[in-house]
């Protein structure tokens, strides 16, 4: 049994965060485990409140599962605070496993999911530990420190910060994901679905990437497969749920393969 660990926040609305990750893990037939970093009181229209988990307890959750069950790959999502970034970096540095870092910063609704003073720690401590990093264009620009970059330039700039490879996702732009590794830049193209159900697309994408890396896919092949799964999850998304962008539907996406 392939064992996945998600280090991420809880979305009470069940669309993003840990809830999306566990749905992906179950749908792809792997064993999912979690280290919660924060609880959000959240729905499709926004984030009402955030309750951070103390860094020592994030560390305790990671150590608990690594020590007994073992981990084949890790997906990192919302980290909330600099102290949490530091302990996650400490623990991942000890773990010789593929790591996907989704540098979650701001929810689609505009709520901050990472404190502004935690961006430097994310860039300097965590990104160099990533097998693959999956910023969207806005996150890639912040990490690169240049808000005027286009997706191709942003992918190159984030790659130079130390991850093995980078995918700048294009869901909010044109649907083209830009992959950059040591051999350069490649587009990952596919349909852009006109769906009102995109909540959790980025979480589902990075969780699927971690599964495919654990199963031995090369990073580019994993990124192609994860883009296809995330796109189908958007196409099958639950548009009628809630008053905002509805949750992606990962289970239906896997059945539709």
Ligand X SMILES: Nc1ncnc2c1ncn2[C@@H]1O[C@H](COP(=O)(O)OP(=O)(O)OP(=O)(O)O)[C@@H](O)[C@H]1O
Ligand Y SMILES: Cc1ncc(CO)c(N)n1
Binding site for ligand Y (CB under 6 A): 8-11, 16-17, 40, 42, 77-78, 104, 107, 113, 200, 202-203
- Which of ligand Y, ligand X, none interacts with 131 (beta carbon under 5 to 8 A by kind)? none
Nearer to ligand Y, 116 or 221 (CB): 116
108 lines the binding site for ligand X (CB under 6 A): yes
CB of 22 to ligand Y, least distance (A): 12
DSSP the chain: --EEEEEEEEETTSSSHHHHHHHHHHHTT-EEEEEEEEEEEEETTEEEEEEEPPHHHHHHHHHHHHHHT--SEEEE---BSHHHHHHHHHHHHT--S-EEE----B-TTS-BSB-GGGHHHIIIIIGGG-SEE--BHHHHHHHHT-TT--HHHHHHHHHTTS-SEEEEB-TTTTS-EEEEETTEEEEE-------S--BTHHHHHHHHHHHHHHTT--HHHHHHHHHHHHHHHHHT--TTSSSSSPBP-HHHHHHT-
**Binding map of ligand X across residues 121-160, x = CB under 6 A, - = no contact:** ---------------x------------------------
The residue within the footprint of ligand X, chosen from 87, 121, 151, 203 (CB under 6 A), is 203
CB of 60 to ligand X, least distance (A): 27
The residue within the footprint of ligand X, chosen from 11, 52, 177, 181 (CB under 6 A), is 177
- Which of ligand X, ligand Y, none interacts with 216 (beta carbon under 5 to 8 A by kind)? none
Nearer to ligand Y, 10 or 34 (CB): 10
Which residues of this protein are in contact with ligand X, per CB under 6 A?
16, 108, 136, 169-172, 175, 177, 191-193, 195, 198, 200-203, 205, 227, 230-231, 234
């Amino acid at each position: 049994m392939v064992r996945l660990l998600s280090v991420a926040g809880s979305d009470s609305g069940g669309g993003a965060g840990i809830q999306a990750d566990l749905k992906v893990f179950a749908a792809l037939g792997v064993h999912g485990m979690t280290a919660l970093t924060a609880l959000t009181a959240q729905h499709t229209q926004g984030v009402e409140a955030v309750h951070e988990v103390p860094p020592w307890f994030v560390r305790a959750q990671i150590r608990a599962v690594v020590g007994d069950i073992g981990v084949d790959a890790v997906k990192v999502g919302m980290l909330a605070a600099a102290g949490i970034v530091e302990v996650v970096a400490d623990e991942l540095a000890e773990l010789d496993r593929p790591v996907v870092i989704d540098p979650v910063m701001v929810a689609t609704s505009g709520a901050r999911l990472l404190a502004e003073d935690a961006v430097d720690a994310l860039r300097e401590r965590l990104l160099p530990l990533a097998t693959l990093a999956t910023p969207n264009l806005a996150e890639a620009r912040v990490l690169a420190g240049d808000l005027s970059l286009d997706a191709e330039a942003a992918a190159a700039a984030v790659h130079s910060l130390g991850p093995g490879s980078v995918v700048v996702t294009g869901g909010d732009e044109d649907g083209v994901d830009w992959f950059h590794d040591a051999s350069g830049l490649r587009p990952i193209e596919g349909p852009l679905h006109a769906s009102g159900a995109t909540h959790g697309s980025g979480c589902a994408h990075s969780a699927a990437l971690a599964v495919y890396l654990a199963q031995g896919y090369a990073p580019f092949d994993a990124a192609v497969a994860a883009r296809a799964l995330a796109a189908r999850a958007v196409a099958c998304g639950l548009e009628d749920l809630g008053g905002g962008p509805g949750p992606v539907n990962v289970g239906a996406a896997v059945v539709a393969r």
